[in-house]
Structure 1
């Protein structure tokens, strides 16, 4: 990995040098064609100016070729980075294997979920998928935009679900994803996220939810440079992608048992268990009691 990064830095320096030489050649050509003749107006010097014109045109041609080569190599490098980011995002989005404990109810599609994956994007997709699939969709969406992404499927994340790195900036960006359906994200959640931003020395961040933000949360976000995206804004952003990219995002959303929640502590798919307090049920970790991750009420799954 380190060797690959060093090679990429060397290639980047070579591309910058190529662009620098191209612009230098263009500048020399313009000087010979436009500036030098101004100072060579005398009868004896006019011939010298005429003799320099072919050299000026040659310099312009060389500069144009070098700049064209830089443009081609730069576009190829960007396409390669985007492809690597897509591959890394798809790899991280894979679900963990399901463990059979023999004590829980067999998996069954969540109530209200369709038996077939949707073919187009809508708010119903967010309602059908679990939180880990939602985060994977967000990460894949940023990867399509050209960001290098980094995340973890489970465990303590320090308040950061996705790390973003742009090729145009050395400053990383952080994203927090909240897969909520029936309640808005409030000031409390954004204040906690602001604390995470501060702890990492960042002046801005992005908060994404499948739900919506309260009016107080929107005002708080504007005052603290937190870029917020609710479910409607996220769908609009997805709608701006190409049909092929939208289809790829749907594949990420409906990968595996998309309707079964993932245990945030160990990454295992959760199982439905009967509740001892009422006639309902809840989602619990399949590794219980080895893993004592938080349970999820069935109605919220």
Structure 2
């Protein structure tokens, strides 16, 4: 239902005022013709009541005529068609909505890693950590394993729980999307503690980077299977072209370059430092959440 515009409201107010004056005239006519004779019984007041009769009939006639005219105008206004908005405006509104739906994703002002057409170290480097975890989970799913993961919040050191009836024992997977920094023995000890808390003897640690020699030795002695970026790319290369393309689609889904806040599970936004104007990624829930990431260049 459309709301009345200002002109309609002004006309309605004028009609109400018109009707009010009509009823006022009718009331005056009734008072002069009926009420006054009831109280004017003395000879002098009776003569005054008789003198008021013409004025009473006149007021009654005017009020009745005005009231009739008011109802006629009201019927005409009610039966007139409602003014429709011009078609061009409606089409423009629809076009605006369509443009909002099909608008391209917002990209940062700083350069960002471009999507690649095939699997390579550059492909792993171009995505954010959440897309890396999604790739690993999709990789296990292609192998016929049921997977369980947690997109954000405290995960207890476990990113993926692969499950299969053919597995002799439960297994957990930790994913670390690091660039230019190897995973060290400290991370291996932490992961071994997670395995112990779940009473597990084996686990898998996957990274887009590499592992230090100490981390490799610790993992070998504690039942931790390691997969660095090169090993992961080799395994992906053994999949069919269709499976590789499907994993690549997972990698570049949505705003693949924009980091996800690990605490809130939402995409970060581009922010600027006040002291030097430098760009960085900050959580959308700031200041409640102060998670931030450095902005990588292409």
TM bucket (normalised to shorter chain) is 0.5 to 0.7
Distance 2:210 2:277 in 1: 31
Distance 2:229 2:135 in 1: 12
The structural deviation recorded for 1:276 is 2.9
SS in 1 for 2:196: helix
Deviation at 1:181, TM superposition (A): 0.7
Gaps of 5+ in 2: 1-105
Which residue of structure 2 aligns with residue 178 of structure 1?
A: 176
- After superposition, residues 212-291 of structure 1 pair within 5 angstroms as 212-290=210-288
Task: Give SS of 1:132's match.
Answer: helix
Matched residue, 1:84: none
Secondary structure in structure 1 of the residue aligned to 2:161: strand
Across the aligned residues of Structure 1 and Structure 2, the Cα RMSD in angstroms comes to 1.8
Gap runs ≥5 in structure 1: 1-105
Deviations 1:146-180 (A, max 9, x none): 11100011111000000111221363210000000
Which fold has the larger relative contact order, with Cα–Cα distance below 8 Å and residues 6 or more apart in sequence?
Answer: 1
1:110 CA drift (Å): 5.9
Query: In structure 1, what is the Cα distance between the partners aligned to 2:235 and 2:110?
Result: 27
What SS is found at the alignment partner of 1:216?
Answer: helix
Matching residue of 1:145: 143
Cα distance change, pair 285–300 in 1 and its aligned pair in 2 (3 A)? farther
1:296 to 269, 273, 293: 293
Match of 2:209 among 203, 208, 211: 211
Asked if residue 156 in structure 1 is aligned to residue 137 in structure 2, the reply is no
| Alignment partner, residue 54 of structure 1 | none
1:63-110, CA deviations, whole angstroms, 9 ceiling, x for partnerless residues?
A: xxxxxxxxxxxxxxxxxxxxxxxxxxxxxxxxxxxxxxxxxxx64276
Question: Does the aligned pair in 2 maintain the 1:107–1:271 contact within 8 Å?
Answer: no
Residue correspondences, number: 193
Cα distance, 1:281 vs. partner? 1.9
1:269–1:167 CA distance, 2 compared to 1 (3 A): same
* Distance of 1:111 and 1:195 partners within structure 2: 39
After superposition, residues 43-122 of structure 1 pair within 5 angstroms as 107-108=107-108, 111-114=111-114, 117-122=115-120
- C-alpha change, 1:108 and 1:214, in structure 2 (3 Å) is same
CA distance in 1, matches of 2:290, 2:234: 34
Q: Distance in 1 between matches of 2:127 and 2:296?
A: 14
Give yes or no for contact 1:165–1:171 (8 Å, CA) kept in 2.
no
Distance in 1, matches of 2:212 and 2:263, equals 28
CA positional deviation for 1:288: 1.6
1:206 deviates by 0.3
